[in-house]
Structure 1
Amino acid sequence: MNVIVHRVAEFLKRFPPFSFLSKEVLEKVAGSVEIRYLEKGEILFRQGQAAETHFYILKEGVIILTESIQNQEEIRDECDEGDVFGVLALLGKRPYVLSAKVQENSLVYAIPVSVFEEVLEQNSRVALYFAAGFASGQVVIRQDLSTGQKARGAFKNESRDHSLMIFSDQSEIKFSEKVLICSPEHTIQEAAELMSEKHVGSIVVCRSDLKPLGIITDKDLRNKVVSKGISLETAASKIMSAPILTRRKDTSFSDLYLTMIKNRLHHLVLTEDGTDQSPVCGIISDHDVLLSMGNSPAVLIHGLMNTLDLKEMRLIRDQAEQMLRYYLENELTMDFVASVMTEVNDIIIKQALRIAENSLANEDEVLRKIPYCFLSLGSEGREEQLLRTDQDNALVYEDVPEALDEEAHAYFLKLGTAMVEVLLACGFASCPGDIMASNPKWVQPMSKWKSFFTEWIIRPTEEAILSSTIFFDFRAVAGNLGLGETLSLHIYEEIQKKKIFLNFLAKNALMNPPPLGFFKDFVVEKSGEHKNEFDIKSRAMMPLADLARLLVLSHGVIGVNNTFKRFDRLAELEPNYEALFKQAAKAYEILMRTRALEGLKNQSSGRFIQPESLGKLERQLLKNTFSPINELQTIVKVRFQLDYFPS
């Protein structure tokens, strides 16, 4: 296979829906891809422009999707690596409803619709994946469908897709059963007066037996009457949209919404038998859809994307916590829950960046143009921060000429501090260890960060190992993401040069004692503020996170930070231990759920738990999660020869 085609295929298979394709089909798709390099400020496509023959997946960079409303640009979404956009072209050649603007220099893969149409017809998993994304109201289909729904759950258990159930409950769909109607003989003036009187944006033109002929909306009045100068005495039937598309009112929410998206409808008429040959019995609008989705990720993220008001951002994050409670209580998969909350947190960080940049708009333009990247560390870096616990972050910027060193550092320290302040205002706690982008030590140019990482690996002191466990889980969230990728590659290259570092990391992973005491009861704190409480973070979660990080690093795996996803990957890499790694992944998910529920219940971080407050089943479930810790520590002890390693 051609080297370039191979590289494209390797990238595509990392992301759904391409990961659902067979090797042969993936190679065919990869072979048809057109690679496009786009510079900052370019427009890939414009709102209203006829759809191209391709849709896109972002390889690297940042592209924003905007909508022009009353001559103002409103951000609808921001594309990141692996995100698929321009997908309405998949549904038929029609104008784009949004504009795609290049926020940072970007590389995109343009995939021909003609090639992918065959895939949609032949692969039901791919079709369902896209349907789930459309049904959640997304304009970008991303690898976790994290702004809306988790389609992958449908493939694991097609009979019980929790994420789709959130949006498919018929009792939640609000639509009007009192449909405003008029006859074909009514004039445009009369139809408009009826709409104005009832304060509605549409009127259905019906026969005398209430069978629908067409529909007139506010948009029709603007585009077909006012702009064209048509007489108001003209029959309403002359400007109605016809033939009319109809559905049964008991049609599933996802089907109704997908129909509206496919046909670019703002209103969908409902009839008794779903055809235009039976009486009208209801109408659903895109506003009804928005209300039906309520506290959904798509709605919350849309709200965050379009506000820079700190109070509003905090309020939306509060709403996200209520959504989190609902997800946990209804036992949605932690993969889905963590993806949703990570997406919410990431958007807050990106908006914080915009606020910080705006506050420094009067700074030297040379400084403002220096590429930089905001890094999330710790649980947020691992995509595991469900509650608003301590923030851990840092900032890296491109190396500058020596003459600019001091000015650049001062500028990015101001930027990092402003971002940290926004996160504090949104309810994220300050880091007790001051590992934040407001600390001068953790705001550095690329060369300095590389020297930090190299030093920790070459001289693995106790402090260096502690730093590596925090910083090696970093995730590039905002800014120039390529800088983050450069740092990741540097870590793996340095470890390859000095693999003995992994033995020190292994020794550290065994520092935490087993969570159960001699009498098989929880090991609790012996003194202090949390005396007699169980520390679920340090006793159970950190040991698993440390073990997963160590083993993934030993395999040279790049780009997998999340703990339970690391264990899933290890299960693929080491089939002999597949059952154990799967058990460890599940254990970590249970621990995350337990901590989050504890935190929501007590309005705390959820870290410390009173064992006596747990029911018998809860206690046993929690104890079961400790089993893989002991087994994994034993494997690590042997694999890294820790019995012969200096203490």
Structure 2
Amino acid sequence: MKNSIAERVLDFLIKYPPFNLLSTQDLFEISKEVSIIYLEKGDTLFGKGDAAKSDFYMVRNGGVKLSHTTLDNTQEIINISDAGDVFGIRPLIAKENYKLSATANEESIVYAIPINKFTSVTKNNARINKFLITAFATNAYDPYTAEENGKIFVDYLPNSSQDIVNFQTANYTKKPITCHLNSTLKDAAIKMRDHKIGCIIVIDDHDKPVGIITNSDIKNKIATGLFPIETAVSNIMTSPVITSKKDLTVADGQLQMIKHHIGHLCITKDGTVNTKLVGVLNHHDVLATLGNNPTVILKEIKRANRTKKLRSARLKANSLLKNYLEQNIPVNHIVKIIAQVNDAVTVRAIEIALKKMPTNPPVKFSWIALGSQGRKEQMLFTDQDNAIIFEDVSSDKYEETQTYFLELAKLVTKSLNKVGFEYCEADMMASNPKWCISISQWKSQFEDWILHPDEKAILLSSIFFDFSPIYGEDALAEELSDAIYKALEQTSIFFKFLGRDAIKNPSPLGFFKQFAVEKSREQKDLFNIKNRTIMPLVDAARLLTLQNHIKGINNTSDRFEQLAILDPNSKALYHSCSYAFKALSKFKTKQGILHNDSGKFIDIDSLTKEEQLKLRRCLKPVHEIQEVLKIRFDLKNFM
């Protein structure tokens, strides 16, 4: 008999990861076990601290928000799962309670997928294992945990360009250092010191691994006085050990380490604790094999001594970005990682350029990033926007000092161009004498923009207000920021100009709620996702941040989150704007990668119904925030 419900479930699941990695037969087996849950707005699926259920979830229709309660007892939305998004999987793998609460953000239908059925069907599927490794290692479905611990970079992240490496045999240590079960801790510690190792495997009379001792064990159990140094190793070792077979792959090793929260795997003759120890695999071995994850890329950038090597390292980040998007990693994690990579590239380009200069800098300076890099939102290669602030000097030394930094800037911008960041067509770069000036001149420039606003001033300030220090003396950037906010206290008309600029782009939806597409010949019938959706949110967040004197937060999503805290009455709107910005940025980046361009212009007809629905849902906050700006800054009579 035909199972029409299971078939409908299958038809939906097969469009999204990780289910698109399964055969139709395997997916049908899972689909038959899926439960369908209807949620009204505000219904809770699970709460923070609840014991993990036997299912993980995928949104069929609607949206489910994942949130936690902060220390000041306010609700913070971490992510909103849309149609096709998976959540609630990490607690099932880690066997831990939920770290977040899941509540329907609107009327929703959710599929509950039994973890036991899923794992039994997929246990031999290497591509599914890779998906779970990535999801687990990045806390992709528990993003608060990662941010709570400050762990942006995880050593276990595989990359799509590394698939062959992931599934090759792991290169483990063939002659591990061991000690006998009857040894004292002192003897074991001396061996560890002599061999300069951080752990030692404890074996029995038959060379079978029975335990492991690490530096942490010695620190926590010996240095604290819990046991004397002469104690038997059996008293402080971790036992039993986790074992694996000799021919395990890199992906197998990663998955085991992640599942068991360990950094070492004991390799035995038959893969169990019942046979002789033949080797040890640690996470550093895995890292060395992979060679392409955030930590390794950053190290490669720091070691680069030529632009060519810098470009090679940055291109690896593009592969990383593509893989993260394919794995549905939350965009806030992706943005932070790529932002760190881009800043590291800039820092290294400056360091290389400084070595080419005939002398050291004559005074302290700060290299600042502007625009998307300044907001920590740059994912794809874009053009350069940067500037230099240098310390004040006497008038007779000014030209000489500026000339030095202009020469430095030319070397840096040339290097960044070779890496892949195009020159700015409007020449808003540190190599332009207008944007390579002293701190006093920068203060005067911003004061003029703020107190005497016009069209040109607003255009320039919209770029320069989003600055972030990248290299050099951060205090100079902070001094400039203080001066800017002091000038803002002297005016209100400037905010009106910024507000008018923020609503200049027409609504992203036209008549009959259709996407408002371009009419010009070059982009005819294409949707400009940047100008019609992303930039209005950027402009609105900047304006409201300046008005509320919020310092030190440049990222658009983070700005809206901070505004939600300061203005509880508009909390829902700000959270919606934050979510929409992240979703739209992710969408634009995916389109850019797909078509090998900026992703700015999108052919709506080429999108699936689901993609069009997701995109359309992000447009409402854009319209709503623009309406708020019109009222708050009385812009209807200022057009």
| TM-score, scaled to structure 1 | 0.63
Report the 3-state secondary structure (helix = DSSP H, G, I; strand = E; otherwise coil) of the residue aligned with 2:513. Answer: coil
Contact 1:389/1:428, CA 8 A, preserved across alignment: yes
State the match for 1:317 in structure 2: 314
State the match for 2:473 in structure 1: 480
Are 1:450 and 2:443 counterparts? Answer: yes
State the match for 2:496 in structure 1: 503
1:398 to 376, 388, 391: 391
From the superposition, tell whether residues 209 and 534 of structure 1 become closer, same or farther in structure 2 (CA, over 3 Å): same
Please state how far the C-alpha of 1:203 moved relative to its aligned partner: 11
State the match for 1:328 in structure 2: 325
State the match for 1:354 in structure 2: 351
| TM-score, scaled to structure 2 | 0.64
Please state how far the C-alpha of 1:553 moved relative to its aligned partner: 1.1
Please state how far the C-alpha of 1:178 moved relative to its aligned partner: 8.6
State the match for 2:302 in structure 1: 305
From the superposition, tell whether residues 397 and 576 of structure 1 become closer, same or farther in structure 2 (CA, over 3 Å): same
Please state how far the C-alpha of 1:211 moved relative to its aligned partner: 2.4
Contact 2:171/2:289, CA 8 A, preserved across alignment: no
Please state how far the C-alpha of 1:150 moved relative to its aligned partner: 5.5
State the match for 1:580 in structure 2: 573
Are 1:253 and 2:257 counterparts? Answer: yes
CA distance in 1, matches of 2:489, 2:178: 77
Please state how far the C-alpha of 1:154 moved relative to its aligned partner: 3.3
1:370 to 357, 363, 369: 363
State the match for 1:337 in structure 2: 334
Q: Deviations over 1:256-313 (max 9, x none)?
A: 88656xxxxxxx6456999999742541145523145542101111111111221111
State the match for 1:426 in structure 2: 419
State the match for 2:536 in structure 1: 543
Report the 3-state secondary structure (helix = DSSP H, G, I; strand = E; otherwise coil) of the residue aligned with 2:489. Answer: helix
Number of positions where the alignment pairs a residue of Structure 1 with one of Structure 2: 457
From the superposition, tell whether residues 330 and 259 of structure 1 become closer, same or farther in structure 2 (CA, over 3 Å): closer
From the superposition, tell whether residues 181 and 259 of structure 1 become closer, same or farther in structure 2 (CA, over 3 Å): closer
Please state how far the C-alpha of 1:466 moved relative to its aligned partner: 0.8
Report the 3-state secondary structure (helix = DSSP H, G, I; strand = E; otherwise coil) of the residue aligned with 1:283. Answer: strand
CA distance in 2, matches of 1:612, 1:275: 55
State the match for 1:154 in structure 2: 142
Report the 3-state secondary structure (helix = DSSP H, G, I; strand = E; otherwise coil) of the residue aligned with 2:437. Answer: strand
From the superposition, tell whether residues 173 and 553 of structure 1 become closer, same or farther in structure 2 (CA, over 3 Å): farther
Q: Map of 1:520-531 to 2, 5 A cutoff?
A: 520-531=513-524
State the match for 2:191 in structure 1: none
CA distance in 2, matches of 1:177, 1:446: 55
Please state how far the C-alpha of 1:376 moved relative to its aligned partner: 0.7
Please state how far the C-alpha of 1:502 moved relative to its aligned partner: 0.9
Q: Map of 1:559-578 to 2, 5 A cutoff?
A: 559-578=552-571
Q: Deviations over 1:494-523 (max 9, x none)?
A: 111213211121111111110111132222
What letter is aligned with 2:156?
F
Which stretch shifts more, 440-449 or 528-537?
Answer: 528-537
2:613 to 616, 620, 626: 620
Please state how far the C-alpha of 1:174 moved relative to its aligned partner: 5.7
Contact 1:382/1:475, CA 8 A, preserved across alignment: yes
Report the 3-state secondary structure (helix = DSSP H, G, I; strand = E; otherwise coil) of the residue aligned with 2:578. Answer: helix
CA distance in 1, matches of 2:557, 2:481: 20
What letter is aligned with 1:637?
K
Contact 1:320/1:341, CA 8 A, preserved across alignment: yes
Please state how far the C-alpha of 1:544 moved relative to its aligned partner: 0.8
Contact 2:155/2:287, CA 8 A, preserved across alignment: no
CA distance in 2, matches of 1:213, 1:156: 36
2:551 to 534, 558, 582: 558
Contact 2:179/2:201, CA 8 A, preserved across alignment: no
Please state how far the C-alpha of 1:379 moved relative to its aligned partner: 0.7
From the superposition, tell whether residues 558 and 211 of structure 1 become closer, same or farther in structure 2 (CA, over 3 Å): same
Contact 2:374/2:467, CA 8 A, preserved across alignment: yes
What letter is aligned with 1:335?
N
Contact 1:212/1:244, CA 8 A, preserved across alignment: no
CA distance in 1, matches of 2:564, 2:270: 50
Contact 1:153/1:163, CA 8 A, preserved across alignment: no
What letter is aligned with 2:522?
E
Contact 1:373/1:476, CA 8 A, preserved across alignment: yes
Please state how far the C-alpha of 1:390 moved relative to its aligned partner: 1.0
CA distance in 2, matches of 1:285, 1:270: 11
From the superposition, tell whether residues 415 and 255 of structure 1 become closer, same or farther in structure 2 (CA, over 3 Å): farther
What letter is aligned with 2:462?
T
What letter is aligned with 2:142?
A
Which stretch shifts more, 336-345 or 397-406?
Answer: 397-406
Report the 3-state secondary structure (helix = DSSP H, G, I; strand = E; otherwise coil) of the residue aligned with 1:477. Answer: strand
Contact 1:370/1:398, CA 8 A, preserved across alignment: yes
CA distance in 2, matches of 1:632, 1:538: 15
CA distance in 2, matches of 1:570, 1:310: 40
Q: Deviations over 1:211-245 (max 9, x none)?
A: 25999xxxxxxxxxxxxxxxxxxxxxxxxxx9987
State the match for 2:229 in structure 1: none
Question: Once superposed, what is the RMSD of the aligned Cα atoms?
Answer: 4.0
1:435 to 420, 428, 434: 428
CA distance in 2, matches of 1:631, 1:474: 27
Contact 2:174/2:280, CA 8 A, preserved across alignment: yes
- The answer for unaligned runs of 5 or more in structure 1 is 1-18, 25-123, 126-147, 186-201, 216-241, 261-267
Please state how far the C-alpha of 1:621 moved relative to its aligned partner: 1.4
Contact 2:529/2:601, CA 8 A, preserved across alignment: yes
Q: Map of 1:231-246 to 2, 5 A cutoff?
A: none
What letter is aligned with 1:595?
K
Report the 3-state secondary structure (helix = DSSP H, G, I; strand = E; otherwise coil) of the residue aligned with 1:526. Answer: coil
CA distance in 2, matches of 1:507, 1:422: 37
What letter is aligned with 2:365?
Y
Q: Deviations over 1:590-626 (max 9, x none)?
A: 1111111111111111111122211111112112211
From the superposition, tell whether residues 394 and 289 of structure 1 become closer, same or farther in structure 2 (CA, over 3 Å): same
State the match for 1:284 in structure 2: 281
- The answer for unaligned runs of 5 or more in structure 2 is 1-67, 74-97, 100-135, 159-164, 181-198, 213-234, 245-254
Are 1:211 and 2:199 counterparts? Answer: no
Q: Deviations over 1:526-564 (max 9, x none)?
A: 124222222111111111111111111111100111111
State the match for 1:167 in structure 2: 156
From the superposition, tell whether residues 577 and 20 of structure 1 become closer, same or farther in structure 2 (CA, over 3 Å): closer
Please state how far the C-alpha of 1:465 moved relative to its aligned partner: 0.7
